Chain A
């Protein structure tokens, strides 16, 4: 048997609907025979009548309704058609969900699924990665699974968590990643994973960029370098300890993220490493992100805009030489 990242997301939702009657799925085109723009809920409306509901194109109200339902004891999963459209629901996510527990002592257990990241030809409004924005605001958990196994167990965990979770699933990984079977147990959120061991340089990444980093590690192994690749798994909470422990071994740090370069997850990792692990570093820590422009449509521009294996390798070699 082989199961894709996308199928893992569907299977996790099927399991959640089966095991927990508080769960319902709310989003555009998720119901009927259609099962979502990416088919992440295919068949679920039929299997679980009345619990997989199509919504109007009203992201703000979709999340607002989910928040209300969560306060009343439900465990809603909201599917955004694309992460980019969650900008419409920012107010509900940041100001309502994000502040609610802190203000009232009543947590808001919603899960918002964001089909994230770039794919060829998708352009500025169907390619965004928004984890940094959500992580910046207090009160939210932000997950960025990079493997089929994590896609599955972290989504199940997201719904179990009493706080609002923004679950960033990468569209490129939907079909490109496969696993033999789904795990019965996952690593808890907040713990990073060492995706590859090495002692010369640490590359910290998350989501689809983990796979670019692994490709670079493989390539540089041929040049005699041993690169350690860390998959953050969740960007909030951020597992600083695993990063620092790795930097203690390698003395060199490169952090790679697919999103825009100003601030964000990579800057946060570097700031923590510099502040708490300055003495461990043999060279100035580096980061690599997309360019500071909207995400271009044309494949030639898109592949130059995002960090790719070639760029990561160039940056890694420069760091290794220092």
Chain B
């Protein structure tokens, strides 16, 4: 059974916001603040490798993290800082990983967005897109084997990653196993430089849901209330034992693919589309229109976000980097079985 709930952007008379609107907004604000800082560190040559931000996708991502409980599994991807933070990832994990501190969860072995804490149910993505869907399915199967109750998994993907074989297999196996999984796919209209017309040819990605035995929902990802309602609803249904859920959000990537990319290929035309709105600005407009908090409080929140981010960066910057000669060069946990190579 396919259900679609379309939300139109409300420019005229805003309806009352979702009850967790302000909470989600603060995660969005923190994320925007953090990522702007990371970008400036990158531009200043203080971050090696890439920086990948979720500008324009914070509303979707925050909603992904917000409804998860402690025992749930979260498989975030490239542009999910807001969701990671809302799910409980400390800011220090981010700054330590980006800045290559030995004390971060990845200890300098992996960088930027390739991080996680599997023991806290934050799966650590590999680059290979689509690969984390089936891993999330397996984690949920394990919870079921172990007799745990009330858990769900939420995995994020871009519309580009949806075109991998791994993604298709992952969706199918999730439905076969009937695990409580929510997949939140964000169509930001670009996979690196490639536009939708060279990514897929179906009318609407959400139509795929029915083909796999998922329930599908469409979402205007620039509208925070809609994100909370629809992603929150999908989480609730998955938790209640409904079939796996697919949410397809529409936004525009408001940055380069990574910070090395000037995104000059993004057309002026697409920047005028309704989905090209900046979800943070839209949320702030709603706050102002409905007078949800006063300007002074907003300023306080911004200051707080800056202070938290600055502190996490300063701490990570003071920490020692890993050193080759002190590194434990071992890729397996069973030490007796380490190969005697070299």
State the A residues within 8 Å of B (CB): 28-29, 31-34, 37, 53-61, 81-82, 84-85, 87-88, 120-126, 261-262, 291-294, 296-301, 303-305
Top 6 closest pairs, chain A to chain B, by CB: A304-B324, A121-B49, A298-B108, A125-B127, A121-B48, A297-B111
User: Which of A60, A122, A123, A301 has a CB less than 8 Å from the CB of B324?
Assistant: A301
Q: 20 pairs across A/B with beta carbons < 8 Å?
A: A31-B198, A32-B193, A33-B264, A54-B198, A56-B191, A59-B164, A85-B127, A88-B164, A88-B166, A120-B49, A123-B110, A124-B110, A124-B114, A125-B128, A292-B341, A297-B100, A297-B110, A297-B114, A298-B100, A298-B321
> Is there a chain A Cβ closer than 8 Å to B88's Cβ?
no
A34 touches B324 (CB 8 A): no
Question: From residue 280 to 338 of chain B, which have CB atoms closer than 8 A to chain A?
Answer: 321-325, 327, 329-331
> Is there a chain A Cβ closer than 8 Å to B4's Cβ?
no
Query: For residue B342, which residues in chain A have a CB less than 8 angstroms away from its CB?
Result: 261, 291-292
Q: Among A88, A298, A299, find the residue whose CB has the most chain B CB atoms closer than 10 A.
A: A298
Complex formed: what's the CA distance from A60 to B130 in Å? 13
Instruction: Given contact pairs A292-B342, A297-B100, enumerate 7 new A-B contacts (beta carbons under 8 Å).
Output: A55-B198, A123-B49, A123-B112, A261-B341, A297-B114, A298-B109, A304-B325
> Is there a chain A Cβ closer than 8 Å to B194's Cβ?
yes
B109 touches A294 (CB 8 A): yes
A56 touches B126 (CB 8 A): no
B106 touches A58 (CB 8 A): no
> Is there a chain A Cβ closer than 8 Å to B140's Cβ?
no
In the assembled complex, the CB of B164 is this many whole angstroms from the nearest CB of chain A, namely: 5
In the complex, which residue of chain B has the Cβ closest to the Cβ of A82? B127
B339 touches A304 (CB 8 A): no
Query: For residue B128, which residues in chain A have a CB less than 8 angstroms away from its CB?
Result: 84-85, 87-88, 125
Complex formed: what's the CA distance from A37 to B321 in Å? 29
Known: A294-B331, A298-B109. A262 touches B322 (CB 8 A): no
Question: B interface, how many residues as a size bin?
Answer: 35 or more
In the assembled complex, the CB of B206 is this many whole angstroms from the nearest CB of chain A, namely: 18
A126 touches B127 (CB 8 A): yes
Complex formed: what's the CA distance from A88 to B163 in Å? 12
User: Which of B50, B126, B164, B327 has a CB less than 8 Å from the CB of A57?
Assistant: B164
Please, what's the 1-or-0 string for B178-207, where 1 marks a CB less than 8 Å from any CB in chain A?
Answer: 000000000000011110001110000000
Known: A57-B160, A291-B329, A303-B324. A297 touches B108 (CB 8 A): yes
> Is there a chain A Cβ closer than 8 Å to B165's Cβ?
yes
Known: A292-B331, A297-B49, A298-B48. A123 touches B111 (CB 8 A): yes
Known: A123-B49, A293-B331. A56 touches B109 (CB 8 A): no
Query: For residue B130, which residues in chain A have a CB less than 8 angstroms away from its CB?
Result: 57
Known: A120-B48, A125-B114, A301-B322. A57 touches B341 (CB 8 A): no
A57 touches B161 (CB 8 A): yes
Complex formed: what's the CA distance from A122 to B330 in Å? 20
Complex formed: what's the CA distance from A126 to B127 in Å? 8
Known: A84-B127, A262-B339. A304 touches B110 (CB 8 A): no
In the complex, which residue of chain B has the Cβ closest to the Cβ of A262? B341
In the complex, which residue of chain A has the Cβ closest to the Cβ of B166? A88
Query: For residue A81, which residues in chain B have a CB less than 8 angstroms away from its CB?
Result: 192
